[in-house]
Amino acid sequence: MKFSSHLYYEYRRVKKAILLYLLLAGPGIIVMVADNDAGGITTYAATGAKYGYGLIWFLVLLGPIAYFIQEMTVRLGAVTKRGHAEAIFDAFGPFWGWFSFIDLTIVNWLTLVTEFIGMTAALGIFGVPPYITVIGVSVIMGIMVLQGRYWTWEKITLIFCGLNLVYIPTAFLVHPSVSQVIGQGIIPHFPGGFTNELFFFLMANIGTTIAPWMLFFQQSSVVDKGMREKDIPWGKFDTLVGSLFTVFVAIFVIIVTGTVLKGMNIESAAQAAQVLMGKDKYIGTFLAIGLFDAGFLGAVCISLAGSWAFGEVFGWAHSLNHKVKEAAWFYACYFLALVTAGAVVLIPGAPLVLITLFVQVIAVTLLPAALVFLILLLNNEEIMGKYKNTLLQNIIDSTIVIAIIILSTLYGISALFSGLFGG
């Protein structure tokens, strides 16, 4: 009797915990899954095609890196109830505030264009004209935010996050050798030696792991969701689940292209999907759906990150819980970014390659600043109180931030001077 009542008690406790998590889950998973955006999927597809399963171990390392950076935004958002843009203005003054804000606006808009490039290319495989994709995506994204509740927006977005798992059945369809995946992928090594080209691929993978918009998005999202200090452990757990999710997806993309396209030079995920379509239409179709979903999630998060930042800085109402007439400027920013970025993709002869290149370069001007501000804010006792970084957190976070700054800067420079690292 005592055992059964204890069992029932445990069952109720676990059930309650799961329900509470489902209620609080969102920002962490969404930001991490959206991290595997169109550019990210392209990088993983190219990495798999180039090195097979040889760099899977490296992607596993990127999970904790993303987690440690993003969990800081959860604490900062929950404690200060401010988004990252507003927090920078408040703590560091107008110079750094405007610098971060203007840089974020430019990077976000350019990244949004690359998401549209990914989405139009993915649906183009099925014969959907680009203008239909742009209009369709804009309408769906409009409906998602205009319903007037953060909670509903978040749960719809989580469904799109689930669609990102399409890479898992795709990986099973290509029948990879499990022993080869484990043998070649898990033990850290540099396939073919540490060449310039390999270094370029490592930098590209790091570059896709942490993007400036992610910091701004998750912090604003935590604030809009209304998370409080007591919710921090759940927010951190949510981020941890998201980081596992993102690593799994990345690994399965690598397994797909590493099995079927090994030895090929892949320029984009859409190209990979096109080639795979010729080999097996289901594999190609799944890859294209995954690419579209990746671009869509990226676009959802990036356009919101920008609108939240505008609202925070200019003092406008900036919550998804507001109706259009209550937060007209917030929604105007959202749609303006969406429509203009989509329109660029439709312009015949638009310099899309140049835009993609520019994203990498401009991002390295913002990312170090945003990361340094994050560390400084998390070390300020007046702002963070008992939630400030511990010594161990500082050692881990500072090491990660320095490594990211060095590698992403080299990646940005290599984008400017092609051939510098063999990329």
Complex with another protein: residue 247 or 415, whichever CB lies closer: 415
In whole angstroms, how large is the CA radius of gyration of the chain?
A: 21
Cβ at position 380, least distance to another protein in Å: 6
- Whichever of 240 and 383 has its CB closer to another protein, that residue is 383
- Nearer residue to another protein within complex by CB, 183 or 351: 351
Q: How far is the CB of 40 from another protein (least distance, A)?
A: 23
Residues of the shown chain interacting with another protein in the complex, contacts defined by CB under 8 A? 89-94, 96-97, 313-315, 361, 364-365, 368-369, 372, 375-377, 379-380, 382-383, 405, 409, 413, 416-417
- Minimum CB distance to another protein, residue 397 (Å): 13
Instruction: Supply the DSSP string of 282-325, one letter for each residue.
Output: HHHHHHHHHHHHHHHHHHHHHHHHHHHHHHHHHT----TTS-TT
Cα–Cα dist 339/407, whole Å? 33
Is the Cβ of residue 152 or residue 365 nearer to another protein in the bound state?
A: 365
158 vs 413, beta carbon nearer another protein: 413
Q: Which is nearer to another protein, 156 or 357 (CB)?
A: 357
Shortest Å, Cβ 236 to another protein: 24
State the DSSP string of 31-80: HHHHHS-HHHHHHHHHHHHHHTTTTHHHHHHHHHHHHHHHHHHHHHHHHH
Look up residue 202 and give its two tokens: 């490592």
Q: Which residues touch 216 (CB under 8 Å, ≥6 apart)?
A: 83, 84, 85, 104, 305, 308, 309, 370
The least CB distance from residue 94 to another protein, in Å, is: 5
C-alpha–C-alpha distance, residues 79 and 85, integer Å: 15
CB of 267 to another protein, least distance (A): 22
Question: What's the rounded Cα separation, in Å, for the pair 342 and 360?
Answer: 19
Q: Provide CB contacts within 8 A for 85, sequence distance 6+.
A: 97, 100, 101, 104, 216, 220, 308, 309, 312, 313
11 or 314, CB closer to another protein?
314
**Least distance to another protein from the beta carbon of 239, Å?**
25
